[in-house]
C-alpha cells in the first residue's frame, strides 16, 4: 500500500498553500509500499518527537493539531471487477456505519451494508451486518484497485481486504 498526502494538489478539495502555522507543505509519501515514511507534524507535535514540522498543522479554535491535506491510498493495477471476479465468496461493502475503531488496540468493528459476492459476481444485497478485524491485519491484507477518485480530500480506490470477520449475514 502506498499513501500520499499532497497539500499543493491543483484543485484538490483539501489543498492549501501553507498550513495553520504558515509553513508550506510538500507532497509526502506517507507510506511507500507498506513502509511508514512520515508522520503528520505540526510544529508542537514535531518538537515532541524531536523532528521538524512538515507543514501539516491545522488550526482548530485556539490550538494547532497535525492534519492531512489531500490524503489518498494510491491506486493499484487491477480493476474492481477483476478483484470481485477473483473471489468465490465475499462481501462488497458499500456503506459502513457506527463507531467501532479502537485506535489504541487497532480493533475494528463496524456495521455495514453492501452486496454478497458469489462465484465472482455480485449476487444479492446485504444489510445490517457487522464486519470486524484488526487494523494491522487489514493493512497487511489490503489490495487496492485502479479506480481512485481524487475528487475528495480523503480518497481511496476500491479495496480488497481478505480475512475479515462477517457477522449477521
* Residue pLDDT, tens place only, 7-27: 999 999 999 999 999 999 999
> What pLDDT is recorded for position 61?
85
pLDDT, tens digit, 9 for 90 and up, residues 77-109:
999 999 999 999 999 999 999 988 999 999 999
**Res 168: pLDDT:** 87
Supply the pTM of this predicted model. Answer: 0.89
Q: What ranges do the domains of the chain cover? A: 3-73, 80-167
117 near 92, Cβ under 8 Å?
A: yes
pLDDT band at residue 3, thresholds of 50, 70 and 90?
Answer: very high
Contact call for residues 167 and 110 (beta carbons, < 8 A): no
- Residue given cell 459476481 in the structure block: 121
* Residue 138 to residue 143: CA distance in whole angstroms: 10
> pLDDT band at 169, cuts 50/70/90?
low
Asked if pLDDT for residue 117 goes beyond 90, the answer is yes
Helical H segments across the chain, by residue range: 43-49, 80-85, 135-140
Residues 40 and 32: beta-carbon distance below 8 Å: no
Amino acid at each position: 500500500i502506498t499513501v500520499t498526502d499532497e497539500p499543493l494538489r491543483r484543485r484538490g478539495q483539501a489543498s492549501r498553500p501553507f498550513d495553520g502555522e504558515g509553513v508550506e507543505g510538500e507532497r509526502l509519501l506517507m507510506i511507500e509500499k507498506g513502509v511508514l515514511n512520515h508522520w503528520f507534524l505540526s510544529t508542537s507535535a514535531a518538537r515532541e518527537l524531536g523532528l521538524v514540522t512538515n507543514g501539516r498543522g491545522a488550526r482548530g479554535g485556539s490550538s494547532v493539531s497535525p492534519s492531512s491535506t489531500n490524503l489518498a491510498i494510491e491506486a493499484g493495477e487491477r480493476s474492481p471487477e477483476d478483484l470481485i471476479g477473483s473471489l468465490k465468496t465475499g462481501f462488497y461493502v458499500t456503506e459502513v456505519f457506527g463507531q467501532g475503531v479502537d485506535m489504541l488496540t487497532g480493533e475494528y468493528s463496524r456495521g455495514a451494508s453492501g452486496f454478497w459476492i458469489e462465484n465472482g459476481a455480485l449476487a444479492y444485497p446485504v444489510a445490517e451486518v457487522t464486519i470486524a478485524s484488526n487494523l494491522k491485519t487489514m493493512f497487511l491484507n489490503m489490495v487496492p484497485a485502479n479506480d481512485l477518485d481524487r475528487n475528495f480530500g480523503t480518497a481511496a480506490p476500491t479495496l480488497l481486504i481478505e480475512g475479515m470477520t462477517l457477522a449477521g449475514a
